[in-house]
């Protein structure tokens, strides 16, 4: 718990039998969406939130649930997932500290479109819908941030649908590595993906197997495009990887 957190605490049991701490108050100072709010407005939102600490792999929201809160990742990292009828996990996105999720149900009033689970020890603030909607009504810049984020989600989803429909498994792995490289650039033509992506996570994102992911990474390593270091996966030639992807896409 940070120095800014206070208030009465209670201990509850998680679905996995572990304990989490819920706090009546915490800080939203590191949430990007709220950075333009004045201290008084931010304090009001903090007071309106329900605060919860989540253990790794704990479910935070469930697909098709009727909850409407917007959730802020105050600390930690969470994953948006869906499950096939056979129980196979399909990864949709990872949400980093300082970001948020759950805005779709807050906006359209429909059930949750996906489940969200905690990847690490996380601290989550649950803001009731009415407070979220009131804030974006009052602050056009905040509303624009939400719109821009939704537009990004649509674009990424469109690209993924096209890749799943038109690319072979190996090429889908290439495309996913390129997507991650673009968000972890460490120079003009070098990327350092941290933490090192797990084979199963990549496979879940592109609908293939761990074995296929391992085979593709080994091939890229032999070609000098990928190097595994202690704490990151280095893509030493992002432009070359982009060329591989664009060639099969016909771009």
Rounded distance, CA 119 to CA 101, Å?
14
Rounded distance, CA 136 to CA 138, Å?
5
Q: How far apart are the first and last CA of the chain?
A: 49
Question: Exposed, middle or buried: residue 235 (CB in 10 Å: 0-12, 13-18, 19+)?
Answer: buried
Rounded distance, CA 214 to CA 241, Å?
17
Q: Running along the chain, 251 residues long, what does each successive block of 10 average in pLDDT? A: 40 38 72 95 96 97 96 97 86 95 97 97 98 97 96 92 93 95 94 93 93 96 93 95 90 67
What is the set of domains in the chain, with CATH numbers?
6-159 (2.60.120.10), 168-249 (1.10.10.10)
Strands 50-54 and 233-235: unpaired
Closest by CA position to 170, among listed 245, 223, 235, 233:
245
Q: Which residues pair with 72 in a beta bridge?
A: 100, 125
Residue 114 CB contacts under 8 Å (≥ 6 apart), including other chains:
63, 80, 81, 82, 92
| Structural element, H or E, at residue 201 | helix 199-206
Q: Which residues pair with 11 in a beta bridge?
A: 21
């Amino acid at each position: 718990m940070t120095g800014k957190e206070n208030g009465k605490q209670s201990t509850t049991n998680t679905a996995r039998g572990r304990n989490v701490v819920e706090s009546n108050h915490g800080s939203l100072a590191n949430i990007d969406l709220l950075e333009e709010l004045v201290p008084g407005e931010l304090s009001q939102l903090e007071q309106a939130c329900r605060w919860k600490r989540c253990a790794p792999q704990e479910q935070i929201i469930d697909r098709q649930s009727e909850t409407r809160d917007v959730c802020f990742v105050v600390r930690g990292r969470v994953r948006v997932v869906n499950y096939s009828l056979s129980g196979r996990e399909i990864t949709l996105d990872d949400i980093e500290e300082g970001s948020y999720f759950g805005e779709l149900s807050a906006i359209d009033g429909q059930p949750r479109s996906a489940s969200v689970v905690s990847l690490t020890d996380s601290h989550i603030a649950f803001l009731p819908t009415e407070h979220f909607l009131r804030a974006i009504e009052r602050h056009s810049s905040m509303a624009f941030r939400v719109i821009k984020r939704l537009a990004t989600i649509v674009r990424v989803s469109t690209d993924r649908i096209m890749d799943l429909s038109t690319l072979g498994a190996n090429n889908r792995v290439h495309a996913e590595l390129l997507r991650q490289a673009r968000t972890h650039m460490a120079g003009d033509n070098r990327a350092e993906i941290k933490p090192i992506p797990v084979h199963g996570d990549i496979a879940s994102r592109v609908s293939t197997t761990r074995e296929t992911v391992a085979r593709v990474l080994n091939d890229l390593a032999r070609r000098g495009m990928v190097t595994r270091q202690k704490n990151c996966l280095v893509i030493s030639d992002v432009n070359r990887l982009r060329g591989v992807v664009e060639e099969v896409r016909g771009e």
